[in-house]
Amino acid sequence: MRRALDDLGLPSPGRLRVPGESTNPVLLSDTGLAVKLYGEHWCGPESFASESEAFKVLRDAGLPVPPLMGRGELLPGRDGWPWPFLVMARVPGVTWRDAAAVVDRPTLLALAREFGRVLRRLHAVPLTGSAVLRPDSPTFPDLLRERRAGTVADHREWGYLSPRLLDDVEGFLPDVDKLLAGGEPRFVHGDLHGTNLFVDVDEKAVSGLIDFTDVYAGDPRYSLVQLHLNAFGADRELLSAMLEGAEWERTSGFAREMLWFTFLHDFEVFEETPVDLTGVEDLDELAQVLWGPA
């Protein structure tokens, strides 16, 4: 990490620390910077490309995204993996997860409402990328097709849902082309979990969005899955506050549509959802338990 900072002529830190778990190694410096390395495995090449593209697309969007300070490779021009890296400014505030553990209920609802406003602006960012963030990118629909084919087997392995309920999922899920038909692709952040969202508790404001490795030109409903099931812990009152802030119309079919995207999501989305769902054997009931009105 020190080598990366030195290569870019950035201040040498006295201390570096690991902020928490991360697929790609991240260290924070005491000089106010974050260094992120991308390995050869665990989709490292794709993650580096997506995050680099996202920073270009978001550069002038006026969103709470950390400035990109530079990029490079630790081993340029050598055989083997070059270990690319990005250096960003650290975002202020605390993670949503840390804030949610200590703030009162009115403050948490205000923060959820404010994040809805930020999410609305994020979805409105022009898709000016050259790969995954261009309007005609096939990445998102291809992902949904892959997930549609594998979701039942994965959920049987994960064990969060009733086997009886999973018997009905194949017939419940729509064709991906029909699901996306008529929708305008938007900037989608697919991993809005509780440590990728930062807030200023005193100001009741969103202070940072990070980790743009799972971004797409796609359907904005997809971005709600990790946000609600991970960051919000499936708290439907927080979901309602966020939707209010986003000026998101909650139609009569909202819960059912969101259950589609729950099954089509790329992650093990129930891993940190603090709700026992094993006794739910009806898909419409599951849709309401997770995505219905508070």
Tell me the catalytic residues. Answer: 191
Task: Take residue 112 and report the two structure tokens written for it.
Answer: 């959820």
Which is nearest to 199 in space by CA: 103, 132, 278, 73? 103
Contact 51, 65 (CB under 8 A): no
Which is nearest to 107 in space by CA: 274, 215, 1, 238? 238
Report the run of H or E that residue 36 belongs to, with start and end.
strand 33-37
Contact 217, 225 (CB under 8 A): no
Residue type, 146: E
Contact 137, 217 (CB under 8 A): yes
Q: Would you give the DSSP letter of residue 129?
A: -
Write the CA distances from 108 to 14, 77, 215, 231, 244, integer angstroms.
35, 49, 26, 12, 14
Contact 123, 162 (CB under 8 A): no
Task: Take residue 88 and report the two structure tokens written for it.
Answer: 């960003």
Distance CA 82, CA 105 (A): 47
